[in-house]
Amino acid sequence: MRYFIELAYNGKNYHGWQKQPNATSVQETLESKLSILLKEEIDVIGCGRTDTGVHAKNYFLHFETEAIFDTERLNFQLNSILPKDITIFSIFRVEPNFHARFDATEREYEYWISTKPDPFHFELSLLYTKPLDIEAMNETAKLLLSHSDFECFSKVHTDVKTFICNVTYAKWELRENGKLVFTIRADRFLRNMVRAIVGTLLEVGKGKINQEDFKQILQSKNRSEAGMSVAAHGLFLTKISYPDFKK
């Protein structure tokens, strides 16, 4: 039987989602706790990777087991033994072929920037207090919607077969308490893609490059032409979209 888990995590203390040798990951932590509770070795498949220090406000995984259990009770038990920086929202059964990663139709990320010092958000946002031309950043961000090859924003030597992504939304918004948020949605994202896009759009906001420069960066397919990647601690995976769940 296949089950989905909806959860969230603060990525500060983890070397990303995916388990790896000699490093603490979210995937490894969840597998360990599920295996204890279900008394068998459990492997989990996540809806995607997040890099070291990146957070997820909305994340899904699936696992398989023949064990009989009450989903609400397992939810409570998991939250009782997991670290406080991982929270389980729900556990539910799905059809055997429903896949946490491959059946996801859209993903949304947010990047948070604090435009003034804030003692409550310094660990969850990038502090940048100098003026930014948000209008120019938004006009330039629109170019992402009409482009498809994002190799220029991908981590080099990555093991993907294609750099094609369908970006459907990209916008900066100034919210309460001086928090500047960049929201981007696409069917898929490349490793480091969002952080590289944010870093390059900040160069636009600073007036160091213009919209035409950004267009040339997109066409270059060269990571070295784009701006620096911003720090991981301001990045959040905020939404995973699926077709209607068939429980």
Give the active site residues.
51
Q: Regarding beta strands 106-114 and 126-127, do their DSSP bridges make them parallel or antiparallel, or are they unpaired?
A: parallel
